[in-house]
Structure 1
Amino acid sequence: MGTTENLLLAHNTKVVVLDFIKALNAEDFDLARQQLHDDMTFKGVMGERHGAETYIGDMEKMKFKYDIKKVFVDGEEVSLWYDIKMGQKTIFAAGWYKVEAEKIKSFQVIFDPRPIL
């Protein structure tokens, strides 16, 4: 793949992930769902989710809000550093998103869970 194609791929990957986060923040769960592969996987400190419907169902209940601090893009992977507002607590976290065919295939989020335990 040439440089122009690499830049376009990275740009599109970043847009998919940022659109996903913006949709979650706006509580537009239908739009957030559109950014996910049906069989996507999520791994987090507090558990795992398999499938877009399961993940979005949980997000509809939790209504987390994300304040992005930094975005890193490498091909079809995006890493975000962000504050996640979880109810009354705000937690600094890192997310690693893998995109395939312009939809999120998997992601992992790590943070120190002690403030919410």
Structure 2
Amino acid sequence: MENTANNPVKQFIQYLNEENFDKAETCLDPEFKFKGVMGSRENAAVYIKDMKQMKFKYKIQKLFTANEDVCLWYDIDMGEKTITACGWYRVADGKIKSLEVLFDPRPLLDHQK
């Protein structure tokens, strides 16, 4: 049986890559929580507002699922830099409830010097 938890996650990434931010937001629970190496966000609308400004592009290298958890290993094109990251998405009721992203921030910090 196919794990359906990864469906909203794959759709979300596709919408972000297409810069269709309104549709991307429909994949998120309104109370979505984001935790990353360089900050956190509470609320889907706040997170999507940031995504509209950053316009990152994602290239999925590997997708893993375990029940309602989806883990992506991906390259994130941030414009001047591309970083490899791991994103842990928690899905419930067909919506992404939270995302935790880990990556080595040093290439981004070196750029700010």
TM-score band, normalised by shorter chain = over 0.9
Within the candidate set 65, 68, 88, 2:57 is matched to 65
Taking only aligned residues, the RMSD between alpha carbons, in angstroms, comes to 0.7
Q: Does 1:21 align with 2:13?
A: yes
Q: Which runs of 5+ in 1 are unaligned?
A: 1-6
Deviations 1:68-117 (A, max 9, x none): 00000111110000000112100000000000100000010000000011
**What does residue 88 of structure 1 align with?**
80
| Structure 1 consecutive aligned stretches of length 4 or more whose deviation exceeds 2 Å | none
Specify the code of the residue in structure 2 equivalent to 1:103: K
After TM superposition, the score normalised by the length of structure 1 is 0.91
In 2, Cα distance between equivalents of 1:86 and 1:45: 15
After TM superposition, the score normalised by the length of structure 2 is 0.94
**What does residue 101 of structure 1 align with?**
93
Q: Does 1:39 align with 2:34?
A: no
Deviations 1:38-75 (A, max 9, x none): 00100000100000000000000000000000000111
Alignment coverage as a number of residue pairs: 109
Q: Does 1:74 align with 2:66?
A: yes
Q: Which runs of 5+ in 2 are unaligned?
A: none
